[in-house]
Chain A
Amino acid sequence: MKVLVPIKRVVDYNVKVRVKADNSGVELANVKMAMNPFCEIAVEEAVRLKEKGVVTEIVAVTVGSKAAQEQLRTAMALGADRAILIETEEDAQPLAIAKALKAIVEKEQPQLVILGKQAIDGDNSQTGQMLAALTGMGQGTFASEVSVEGDKVKVTREVDGGFQTVELKLPAVITTDLRLNEPRYASLPNIMKAKKKPLDTVSGADLGVDFAPRTKTLKVEAPAARSAGIKVASVEELVSKLKNEAKVI
């Protein structure tokens, strides 16, 4: 079976982002970019399913500028067989991304679509669910365990109270949570091999998708800073401060 893995290029998770002085967004110039960590987990899961013999082909896809080819190459170095860049210069939002992915799903006919549960830039957590709705597929979000059984997939989900397991008819959409797996690192030979794997580019316009955001970002600000408090010397002093000064216990 074929698996589609949509990924996203984001600011590296170790970077502490700064808001631009004109409040138009966050500073992205000269900032280290990387594949969204949840997307790495999605690629890893697809690769493990291939290693188990469940999956025969892994197609990585992303929506973004030419620069996002870098992350598609990373996905191929990790084990994806080929990649598709849906090119746009717009700041594409989840609904438009889901519409573009729907067009790819219709063309590629994957049995599974595995995505990260959220991207760490916009923190939206929408794309997988939206794609599932637009294609009429079932969804297993925030997955911590995935097992394909015949024409169904069982997904254990991390929910507020613990875990929930659902069974979905294939084709289905899965979004990955943190503990689904621990992604591998790309080896140097695989990085070299990935350079020769096929990477197709299609324009968003060719797919008939308008990527212009409908939700306008009016401004982006730094959060109210929390001033560092005081150091206390002992547990006794701490308890006294909490009782008498903060009055919280």
Chain B
Amino acid sequence: MGILVYAEHDNSTIKGATLNVVTAAAKIGGDITVLVAGKGCGAAAEAAAKIAGVSKVLVADNDAYSHQLAENVADLVAELGKGYSHILIPATTTGKNFAPRVAALLDAEQISEIITVESADTFKRPIYAGNAIATVQSSDSVKVITVRATGFDAAAAEGGSASVEAVDVAKDAGVSSFVSEELAKSDRPELTAAKIVISGGRGMQNGDNFEMLYKVADKLGAAVGASRAAVDAGFVPNDMQVGQTGKIVAPQLYIAVGISGAIQHLAGMKDSKVIVAINKDEEAPIFQVADYGLVADLFEAIPELDKQI
């Protein structure tokens, strides 16, 4: 039957999360087909064909898919997906937007954000902000699944030589249209792909003070994140939020600065390999998950850290 993997891409390159989803597909077992839907996405399709373990790439190149509108993409994926045993979609905001539509169109119960493949029909997924892990078994004939990237290693981006095939199903559902987008520009690595993440919380006091974290981040090649409290207070934009409802990260090193450690924040970072917490409140819950805790005023500790690295 085979597995259909939906590629997250920017028309020219494949986004990292796609590689983790390919690994999840390989664990399920079966031929892996990657679908690249977009407008002018030929280069992304070529890149997808090189991913190790992929046997076929389908390209749907059409105006209807240029902004990944859920209504149009879901119709396409549901139509193509009928012939597969599993449809795997990255649990990014793009994937989470259209995947349930696909499931509903196929009358399937979606399995959200799997972190482990136990067998072809059994998966593990976090519930209650990661405070419990459920093992679930699906009986749907086509299994629609979103994959949490941090649960799986990335497949090799090079080494494959899949065939590329154009699909000409293209339909605009006609109920939605793209107006505009406002994307953050940064020279730092993407939060979800960075090896080191340094995040600030309410303790940062204002947006200007994040400059201290940016300086340290640039020395370490790190991405900068934030707690919900810092985003809600307007210190930094929403795309920096790490947590249950923000981004899920699992870097080699996570440095939490002035973050108390609400369970909703821990849900987004507790699978990091090494966690450092810097907080002046020694009772802060963040210290319960930290490998290295430093009880200190961040306004003294961060400039000092900046000097020493």
Contacts and interface: CB of A to CB of B under 8 A. Distances in A.
B70 interface: yes
A232 B294 contact: yes
A139 B161 CA distance: 37
Contact of A95 (B103, B133, B238, B247): B103
* Residue from A128, A161, A168, A218 whose CB has the most chain B CB atoms within 10 Å: A161
Given A166-B177, A223-B126, A241 B108 contact: no
A236 interface: yes
Interface of A: 11, 13, 16-17, 19, 26, 93-95, 98, 117-118, 120-134, 136-142, 144, 154, 157-169, 172, 177-179, 213-223, 226, 228-232, 234-236, 238-239, 241-242, 246, 248-249
Nearest to A129: B100
Contact of A238 (B107, B174, B294): B294
B184 A161 contact: yes
Contacts of B177: 166-167
B235 interface: no
Query: Which 6 pairs show the lowest CB-CB distances between chains A and B?
Result: A138-B175, A229-B291, A129-B100, A126-B100, A133-B104, A138-B176
Interface string B81-123: 0000000000011101111111111011111110000000010
A226 to B, nearest CB: 5
Interface in B47-86: 67, 69-71, 74
Q: Which secondary structure characterizes the binding site on chain B?
A: mixed
A211 B105 CA distance: 18
A165 B179 contact: yes
Contact of B178 (A128, A164, A232): A164
B132 A220 contact: yes
30 contacts: A95-B104, A120-B244, A122-B112, A123-B126, A123-B127, A129-B70, A133-B100, A139-B101, A141-B97, A157-B93, A160-B92, A160-B239, A161-B239, A162-B239, A164-B180, A165-B178, A172-B175, A215-B137, A216-B136, A218-B135, A218-B137, A220-B132, A221-B132, A229-B275, A230-B293, A231-B293, A235-B304, A248-B252, A248-B273, A248-B274
Contact of A159 (B94, B173, B291): B94
Interface string B182-204: 11100000001000100000000
A217 B93 CA distance: 25
A222 to B, nearest CB: 7
B128 interface: yes
Interface of B: 67, 69-71, 74, 92-94, 96-105, 107-113, 122, 126-140, 173-184, 192, 196, 220, 228, 231-232, 237-239, 244-245, 247, 252-253, 263-264, 270, 273-276, 282, 287-296, 301, 304-305, 308-309
A133 B126 CA distance: 25
Contact of B138 (A172, A215, A229, A249): A215
A185 B179 CA distance: 34
B301 A235 contact: yes
A104 to B, nearest CB: 16
A169 B176 CA distance: 6
A17 B183 CA distance: 36
A126 B110 contact: yes
B253 A229 contact: no
A223 B133 contact: yes
